[in-house]
Amino acid sequence: MAIITYESIAGDTSDVWEIGFDTSNEGEELDLATLTGDFSCRIAVRDADPVIDREITDKNTAGDRFRAWLTSEETRALGPRTWSVGIQITNLTLSPPLVKEHQLKLKLSREIVIP
């Protein structure tokens, strides 16, 4: 799977990425699990200083996707550069236990108007 690169400005809120768990079999229509109970989600940025690694609790209206993003404070702290971002969904009570990380690149450019 190719890692997609998103672009934003350091100091702006990033795009919102929606992450779900597909329970369908190969060749079947997408069937996302309802994210209740033991499902959890985290977002982290590799090599960030200060460290960015936090829990995500926001979900879409249907309750089948976590909604993750970086805040304006986080992108400002990261600064201009291309960053590796991981968003992990977990449910250790499933059989087999679910640990699935989605990776993306976030290219941050320098802001022109500084608040």
Establish if 17 belongs to a structural domain.
Answer: yes
Residues 6 or more apart whose CB falls under 8 angstroms from that of 15 comprise: 6, 8, 69
Establish if 115 belongs to a structural domain.
Answer: no
Q: Above 80 in pLDDT, residue 113?
A: no
Q: Above 70 in pLDDT, residue 64?
A: yes
Q: How many domains does the chain have?
A: 1
For the entire predicted model, the pTM comes to 0.89
Establish if 8 belongs to a structural domain.
Answer: yes
Residues of the domain holding 71: 4-23+31-109
CATH number at residue 49: 2.60.40.10
Establish if 60 belongs to a structural domain.
Answer: yes
pLDDT band at 115 (very low <50, low <70, confident <90, very high): low
pLDDT computed for residue 1 by the predictor: 64
Establish if 114 belongs to a structural domain.
Answer: no
pLDDT computed for residue 24 by the predictor: 86
d(Cα 115, Cα 102) in Å, to the nearest integer?
A: 32
The string of pLDDT tens digits covering residues 10-50 is 999 999 999 999 988 888 888 999 999 899 999 999 999 99
